[in-house]
Structure 1
Amino acid sequence: MKNVEDVYRFTASQRELLSQRQPESRIEHLHSPFRGAVDESALEEALRELVRRHTALRTAFFMQGLAEPMQVVREKVSPSLERVDATSLPGGVDAWLEADRQRGMNLTAAPLVRLSLLRTGPDTGALVFGYHGAVLDAGSARLCLEELLHLYKARREQREAGLEKSRPFREYLSWTEQQPTAETEARWRERLGGARPTLLPELPPTAEATAPARVQQQLLSSTETGNVQAFLRKHKLEPGTLVQAAWALLLRHLTGSQDVVFGALVPGRPASLSQGRPMLGSFAHVLPRRLTVPSDGNAVRWLRGLQADLTEAQRHEHVSTAQVRQWLGLAEDALLFQSAVAVWEAPDEDPLKPLARGLGLHGFTRSAPSPSLPLYVEAVPGPRLALRLHHDARRFAPLDVIRLSGQLAALLDTLVSQPDRDVSSLGEVLDAAGKAVGAGARGPITAGSTPEPEELRALIAQHPEVRSVAVRVEGDALVAHVVPARRRARKLDFGLFFFADEDSGSRDKYHLLLEAAKFGDQHGFTSVSTPERHFHEHGGIYPNPAMLASALATITRNIRLRAGSVVLPLQSPFRVAEEWSIVDNLSGGRAGISIASGWVPNDFAFFPENFARKRDVMWENLEKVERLWRGEAVTTLDGVGKEVQLKVFPRPIQPRLPTWVTCATDPALFERTGASGYNVLTSLLGQSLEEALERIGLFHAAADRAGHARGSRIATLMMHTFVGQDADEVLDKVRAPLTAYLRAHVALMQTLVKSLDLQVDINEPKWADYLASYAFERYYRSGALIGTVTSCLPMVDRLLDGDVDEVACLIDFGVDTASVLDSLTHLAELKRLAQDDALRMERVLSEYLDERVVGRRPPLHIRLVDALPSEGNG
């Protein structure tokens, strides 16, 4: 036979997939927008090399006229890059993807993959990798795409890609043939014997013959997603265990039955074939899952037992639903389940993302045909875990799906935040989440329809920042009248903070400081602070905050110029008063300082005699600085040892120097600072956010007891900050520098070890690497302003709830200068939304609806009101 490398039969899951209606259209896509030049020749060469590497990509399927269908691996296939002029493409990329799916693929003509370049401009457009589900599953497709980009990058750089030799798909087929059929059949009989499919309630048939599947999406917040990840790590659970358990609990709540059956996406191949050299193919498929939901008992114990059962079941998951029906003695078309759950797992370090971004690609999205089920639930990992409910639009009313998605999200949040909760009480959580939607319209929607006002109202009502809402048509506009859950009288101020930048050898060491200060001055930031650090490459470019503040005074007009901090035991109080009086005059009265006692022995080379008494000297020198600032004479010794009384000049503009005390972790220092009438500056170096807020509370309480008015003091918290437009891109930018920063700061690592109750030596390299990586995941979610504008807003609320008045945004922790300066625009937008309730609600709800409604939705205007008319005050 010509051009034939191998011939073998279908796998069970391939046979089932290709027996469906219109099998040629079972096409999935991975697509990404691109910005930048694309070398089409190198891309096409990379595609051909990829196809040469893998037998699955050279496979065609033959069914007609054969006693048994066979798949044929071609020796040689030469695919071409498909070039598409998309400058005036109607409907955009989504419409093109659907048209490409309808175009289908000839199953007898390899390869059953194609690569398309859609150009919307000379250097913009989308890259689309299309593949048939019979040759690749979603996991293999991502690996395939990763290899493609490695090959493309190597071609552009004129080098070898250095990829491992691949394994042929025949190895998987051989493995399936070696499995004990009798044992597998017995296992499925035991698992599903006597089971009945769990029928979904409220599925009335409609007169409409066809209707599209719709998708309702709900994204967990970044904090909730972090809680899920921490819970899974702590209890050594897989994401699939958690989501399947939550779905089983929801089915029990809906149907009243403890014995539930639904479909679950399974990997379909053993770990032995997933390790080592890469093997691409179609392995994952959906099989029936039967779970017994306990009536009571600890939720975590149930989850652990469930995971053990699911792990054991993996040995028998290479079969198809057709085989399961046969073993159970059911008809070929017998119903096994009406709903299914797919949990897409991602590695902790996904190499595809940084590789793609380095080539100008900005986030791959998977697009697949709608499953042929009434309800299909996907859990998709990311900075925010996405729950997508694909549902039959003929059978589900919109509000029912909104209710289900809200209940599932609430259940996941409760399971991870209250792990010791009894299973019997989880019905209360589901009832509460269901009531948030309300009754409303319950009729089915028609093909191609957009969300109705009642559906939008139900979606908005689920948002945690909304107390109540009414959506009405007013003229030509759709308007949502929103009563916020709360309004804040106090707003958070934003300052800029510099602390850790290194002496890189550049001639322009202060470019970031100068440009950021000018930006902050023009965009309403309250302050810019520089530290005092000596004799070390990290932070050593800031030895004199007064000198730097003087430079900033000449290029700014409004922003306050602070030291964060002046280490008073290293200074003469006369020099401090003189230098900061100069800053005050140059800036027109904008000077301020935070004082510190210091901690690094080398720094005390200036005044070694002060090291033993550094805390006492700090307070003594502060008292002298304040007297000098007021114009008083202070007694000191002159050069011949004679007592003299001296004043400093120039006279400052401000009658009192605004002063903060830098407090690390000592509760007594927080209290003394508040009682003395000073402001406080603290950070998360050596303390968690919870501990910092508790100590800020001590500061305020001491100030209240001493009679200092609330408006006369400021609590400032320094936080690592980087805000961007895309969550994945933000993480790519900050991961390496922030991980290095955390590893270098022993106090932060010690805080982490203490919080986890670990008995480890942080100086051991293996533990240091592990803890630094884990610390990053924890720190960026719970101790930093890192993310997108809206994902950072909950942290703003947390700070306000903790009586923080100002966040000092530390921006120089290792991210490249150009990226930091670009990010300031997004930080300014965060500040703007944090200080304007109406703008915040409009932005938050707009993004929220874009997340929840997959596809088109009508424009919606948001108006904040104190009460709805029905509540009596509107």
Structure 2
Amino acid sequence: MDLSVMFFGADDASTVGHATKYDDILAITRAADRLGFTAVWTPERHFQQVGQVFPNPALLSAALAVATERIHVRAGSLVLPLHHPLRVAEDWAVVDNLSRGRAGISVATGWHSKDFVLAPDAFEDRRERALRDIGLLRRLWAGETVEFTDGTGERVAVASQPRPYSAALPLWTTTSGSPQTWEAAGRLRTNILGATIGQTREDLAGKIRLYRDAYAQAPEQAGAPSRGIVTLMAHTYVGVTDEEARRRAGGPLKEYLKSYVAQTATNKAPAKTGGESAGRAAGGAAGRAAGDAAGALTGGQLDTLAEFAFQRYLSWGSLLGSAETCRKSLADLADLGCDEVACFVDFGLGAEEVLAGLERLAELREDL
């Protein structure tokens, strides 16, 4: 099993400055590179406290690419309906060249209505746009000439430049839990980026089987691997003991969950649309438990909800505990059919605590 590092911070950077947050991200990524982690994932978020330093994963990934030597740099996730596919191909070709072939993207449909001030016409059919444009993105990456409408209304044929370093772009589809998205990812032969949180082990096992069956039955896709990668996000802090890990992680994680629930109250997207992103997956049980009533919750109710979610995280699906506890959790995820765990580390812990936890986690890699 591969281990990666995922960022999706919720803390208010105004107290220390956003420049310091970027320094922390660089330091943690360099450490992950040195320690042998597979990849670093950075999200796309707009106009919220949650993920406030991550408006453009391509821009940040370019910086991480030149600051590292071997670790893969990936968008987890890129909200494809907010972008023209040509621009995505151009931007990530730059990252791919700077990293000498270490770029990758997880495509998300988007879920928060406020994000779509950047592309208001793309909101209603965002799921269809995202799934449709995956094929187009593959064609552009491969160097095909594709017709688009130019500034005069004429159809013109263009090819994306610069040419990428890699022949194929590794693609994931992000899901917050919808079985339809797991199946769609299999049909498209993309990898899949999900989360342990917010679903039972049995539910997740069923979705992985659904994905594997759909992938096996799907026709070959240009640039797609013969077998898809199942990557699962998990809140991570490896402590010296279970008690120490939970004591250090408990307060920051519960504050993170409350911040996440608060942003759901400002989302005008109807729940039935099923838009998905790394944010929803990372928020997990707390966000879904709050639902449409998030805006009406009192402070005490938010505390109760966050405590409930935290206790659920401890019972299954997180990497919060001692090395031995986390070793057992990783073995369980491997048995479930998980190929890679994206370790979600920046939920409020200090950079030094994150780095210490990664050092202990890296020691477990030899057993995987």
**Does the TM-score normalized on the shorter chain lie above 0.5?**
yes
2:256 aligned to which of 741, 748, 762: 741
1:726 deviates by 2.6
- The letter of the residue matching 1:820 is V
What secondary structure sits across from 1:692 in the alignment?
helix
Which of the pair is proportionally richer in helix? 2
The one of 715, 718, 730 equivalent to 2:230 is 715
Which residue of 2 is the match for residue 474 of structure 1?
Answer: none
Whole-Å separation in 2 of the counterparts to 1:605 and 1:762: 25
Alignment deviations for residues 219-260 of structure 1 (CA, whole Å, 9 cap, x no partner): xxxxxxxxxxxxxxxxxxxxxxxxxxxxxxxxxxxxxxxxxx
SS at match of 2:363: helix
Question: Which residue does 1:778 correspond to in 2?
Answer: 312
Alpha-carbon shift at residue 502 of structure 1 (Å): 3.5
Aligned ranges 1:678-693 → 2 under 5 Å: 678-684=190-196, 686-693=198-205
Structure 1: gaps spanning 5 or more residues: 1-491, 755-760, 836-874
Counterpart position of 1:244: none
Counterpart contact for 1:688–1:751, Cα < 8 Å: no
Of 320, 337, 358 in structure 2, the residue corresponding to residue 824 of structure 1 is: 358
1:813 paired residue number: 347
Question: What SS does the corresponding residue of 1:574 show, helix, strand or coil?
Answer: helix
Q: Does the 8 Å contact 2:35/2:359 carry over to 1?
A: no
| 1:660–1:679 Cα contact (<8 Å) kept | yes
Whether the 8 Å contact between 2:145 and 2:157 is mirrored in structure 1 is yes
On the 8 A contact 1:574/1:648 being kept in 2, the answer is yes
- Whether the 8 Å contact between 1:743 and 1:772 is mirrored in structure 2 is yes
When residues 569 and 707 of structure 1 are mapped into structure 2, their CA distance, relative to the original with a 3 A threshold, is: closer
Is residue 2:329 matched to residue 1:795?
yes
Question: Structure 2 matches for 1:243-282, cutoff 5 A?
Answer: none
Q: State the shift of 1:818 in Å.
A: 1.5
Name the SS for the 2:160 alignment partner: coil
Aligned equivalent of 1:530, options 42, 45, 52: 42
- Paired residue for 2:4, among 495, 502, 522? 495
1:707 CA drift (Å): 6.5
Deviation at 1:675, TM superposition (A): 2.1
> Where do 1:160-309 residues align within 5 Å?
none
Amino acid at match of 2:97: N
* Cα offsets for 1:828-854 (capped at 9, x unmatched): 112223x2xxxxxxxxxxxxxxxxxxx
Alignment check: 8 A CA contact 2:150 2:156 kept: yes
Which of 118, 141, 148 aligns to 1:629? It is 141
SS in 1 for 2:138: helix
Please tell me the root mean square deviation across aligned C-alpha atoms, in Å.
2.3
Number of the residue aligned with 1:653: 165
Q: 1:730-779 CA distances to partner (integer Å, 9 max, x unpaired)?
A: 1221111111223344462365699xxxxxx9824444322322321221
- Residue equivalent to 1:271: none
Note if 1:593 corresponds to 2:100. Answer: no
Q: Is the CA contact (8 Å cut-off) linking 2:231 and 2:342 kept in structure 1?
A: yes
Which structure 2 residue ranges, 5 or more long, are not aligned?
262-283
1:569 is aligned to 2:76: no
Give the whole-Å Cα distance in 2 for the aligned partners of 1:503 and 1:628: 38
Looking at structure 1, the residues matched to 336 and 228 of structure 2 have their Cα atoms a distance apart, in angstroms, of 15
The separation in 2 between residues aligned to 1:596 and 1:655, in whole angstroms, is: 22
> What is the SS of the residue equivalent to 1:517?
helix
The 1:788/1:662 distance shift into structure 2, 3 A limit, reads same
Structure 1 position 541, deviation (Å): 0.5
Rounded to whole Å, the distance in 2 between the matches of 1:632 and 1:702 is 27
Q: Which residue of 1 aligns with 2:30?
A: 518
Separation (CA, whole Å) in 2 of partners of 1:792 and 1:563: 25
Find the aligned partners of 1:724 and 1:730 in 2 and give their Cα distance. Answer: 4
Whole-Å separation in 1 of the counterparts to 2:81 and 2:197:
21
8 Å contact kept, 1:577–1:628: yes
Instruction: State the aligned residue count.
Output: 338
Structure 1 contact 697–802 (Cα < 8 Å) conserved: no
User: Contact 2:75–2:104 at 8 Å: present in 1 too?
Assistant: yes
Can you list the C-alpha shifts for 1:788-838, whole angstroms capped at 9, x where unaligned?
Answer: 1111111112111110000000001001112111211101112223x2xxx
**CA offset digits 1:567-609 (Å, max 9, x no partner):** 0000011110001000111111111100001011111111100
Partner in structure 2 of residue 706 of structure 1: 218
Q: Per-residue CA shift, 1:98-124, capped at 9, x if unaligned?
A: xxxxxxxxxxxxxxxxxxxxxxxxxxx
Q: Does the C-alpha gap of structure 1 residues 711 and 787 become closer, same or farther in structure 2, counting only changes over 3 Å?
A: farther
Structure 1 SS opposite 2:231? strand
Q: Distance in 2 between matches of 1:521 and 1:650?
A: 26
Q: Please tell me the residue identity of whatever aligns with 2:63.
A: A
1:546 maps to 58
Greater relative CO (CA pairs within 8 A, separation 6+): 2
Write the deviation string for residues 556-575 of structure 1: whole angstroms up to 9, x where unpaired: 11111100011000001111
Partner deviation per Cα, 1:437-484 (whole Å, 9 max, x = no partner): xxxxxxxxxxxxxxxxxxxxxxxxxxxxxxxxxxxxxxxxxxxxxxxx
Looking at structure 2, the residues matched to 753 and 569 of structure 1 have their Cα atoms a distance apart, in angstroms, of 26
Which residue type is aligned with residue 321 of structure 2?
Answer: G
* Equivalent residue number for residue 264 of structure 2: none
Identical-pair percentage: 40
Q: CA 1:684 to 1:500, structure 2 compared with 1: closer, same or farther past 3 Å?
A: farther
CA distance in 2, matches of 1:685, 1:642: 48
Structure 1 residues 555 and 631: alpha-carbon distance in aligned structure 2, compared to 1, 3 A threshold: same
Amino acid across the alignment from 1:494 = L
Q: CA deviation at 1:659?
A: 0.2
What amino acid maps onto 2:357 in structure 1?
S
Cα distance in 2 between the residues matched to 1:571 and 1:784 = 32
Whether contact under 8 Å (1:704, 1:710) holds in the other structure is: no
Distance 1:812 1:689 in 2: 24
Q: Is the 8 A contact 1:502 1:541 kept in 2?
A: no
Classify 1:569/1:516 alpha carbon distance in 2 versus 1 (closer, same or farther; 3 Å): same
CA distance in 2, matches of 1:510, 1:800: 32
Q: Specify the SS of the correspondent of 1:509.
A: helix
Aligned to 2:302: 768
* 1:504 matches 2:17: no
Residue deviations 1:397-436 (CA, integer Å, cap 9, x gap): xxxxxxxxxxxxxxxxxxxxxxxxxxxxxxxxxxxxxxxx
Q: Report deviation, 1:729.
A: 1.9
Q: Could you report, residue by residue, the CA deviation over 1:190-240 in whole angstroms, capped at 9, with x for unpaired residues? A: xxxxxxxxxxxxxxxxxxxxxxxxxxxxxxxxxxxxxxxxxxxxxxxxxxx
